[in-house]
Structure 1
Amino acid sequence: MNRQEMREKLQKKLTDRRFEHSLGVEYVSGCLAMVHGVNVEKALTAGLLHDCAKCLSPEEKIERCTKNNLPISECEYNNPELLHAKLGAFYAREKYDVKDPDILSAIACHTTGKPAMNMLEKILFVADYIEPNRKPLKEIEEIRKEAFADIDKCIVHILKNTLSYLDTTTDDTDPMSIDTYNYYVAHQAVADKLKEVDI
């Protein structure tokens, strides 16, 4: 299935707003791939399909993960919206004929991120946050600049804002988001130390 065929199929499964967001993430993923030396076609495909399971109801997400033997954590069971990432990776493979493990992995972790992401995973995680159709978010212009200049710093910035927001809106933050934040804070501290040595 080529990307245009994927687009046409995806449009029938998403709301207009979600489809517009997906096109924005596709575009930004391609741009970031060019800057960070990643296969552009992979990035475009991951960006396009990242939310392919987003518009299912919470009950449908749980039911379809259970039916297809996709693991559900306690946090995901309490917040089924989180399941759209791993279910999206499954759908990308089964319904959109995506076989590339890098694309599937990027889709699977695009919501929370994960420690030690590869560059394609980082790109999709960031593109989902900064794409131009998003409503204005705190410090978004600075974050967009960081995405192209220092993507690891950008990831820390995104997760800091996300965790701060979740801290005021829920008592059940996904542990993977916290693990990812802690990993990249430590990673950034090491990178900053190395820069000091270089100077």
Structure 2
Amino acid sequence: MERAEMIEAVKAEMPERRWIHTEGVMATSILLAERFGGDPERAELASILHDVAKFWATDRLAAVIADNGLGDDWLAYDKELWHAPAGAWEAKTRFGVDDEDVLNAIRFHTSGRGGMSKLEKIVWLADYIEPGRDFPGVDNIRSLSEKSLDSAILAGLEATIGVLMQRGRLIYPLTIEARNDLLRSLNKE
């Protein structure tokens, strides 16, 4: 599918404000890819598609996850996570994406995971710090992202985990694994 056609199809899946977010993620992922030696085209592709399922009905998300063997463990955690594996499935089945790294960047853009590839890290961080994001601490994480991809993601994961703990919410195990993996890696440096 052509890029312009894909963009129009994804835009049709979300409200205008979310498309503005997606454009911010696209631009930020390209910038991060250039800064940290990633592939800007693959980063942009994953960014275009990362929220394609964000506004699907909860029952549709649950059915896609359950019926397609995407990992029932997702369904035991916050519904805010579900659009990521469903979006990766949609990217593959509807949009013909067969690059596993791009699909994983979509699949894990909400949770992270241990052993994330550079592309996964770029898309995760771009989603977290794109220019439209405005929450306490985001400017610090943006500053960190100018020097270290891993340090910025670690700070973002720790902030997210802290908020989830304050709210008494379950924390998806891959998020903890992502945090621990980055901490181990940074401590080796």
Q: TM-score scaled to structure 2, two decimals?
A: 0.94
Picking from 140, 144, 150, the partner of 1:146 is: 144
- Where in structure 2 are the equivalents of 1:1-199 lying within 5 Å? 1-73=1-73, 76-134=75-133, 136-191=134-189
Deviations 1:72-131 (A, max 9, x none): 21x633422211111111101111121211111111111111112111010001000000
Could you tell which deviates more after superposition, 33-42 or 137-146? Answer: 137-146
* Structure 2 CA distance for partners of 1:170 and 1:15, relative to 1, 3 Å: farther
Question: CA–CA distance in 1 between the matches of 2:94 and 2:17?
Answer: 21
SS in structure 1 of the partner of residue 14 of structure 2:
coil
CA contact (8 A) 2:116 2:178 kept: no
Which structure 1 residue ranges, 5 or more long, are not aligned? 192-199
Question: CA–CA distance in 1 between the matches of 2:121 and 2:153?
Answer: 8
CA RMSD in angstroms comes to: 1.3
Deviations 1:6-64 (A, max 9, x none): 11011111111211111110110011111111111101111111011111122221012
CA contact (8 A) 1:114 1:176 kept: yes
CA contact (8 A) 1:76 1:174 kept: no
Count of aligned positions: 189
What amino acid does structure 2 have at the position aligned with 1:116? G
SS in structure 2 of the partner of residue 44 of structure 1:
helix
CA contact (8 A) 2:77 2:172 kept: no
CA contact (8 A) 2:77 2:171 kept: no
Question: CA–CA distance in 2 between the matches of 1:160 and 1:138?
Answer: 13
How much has 1:189 moved relative to structure 2? 1.4
* Structure 2 CA distance for partners of 1:133 and 1:174, relative to 1, 3 Å: same
SS in structure 1 of the partner of residue 146 of structure 2:
helix
Bigger Rg, structure 1 or 2: 1
Question: CA–CA distance in 2 between the matches of 1:76 and 1:149?
Answer: 36
How much has 1:184 moved relative to structure 2? 1.1
Could you tell which deviates more after superposition, 83-92 or 63-72? Answer: 63-72
Which structure 2 residue ranges, 5 or more long, are not aligned? none
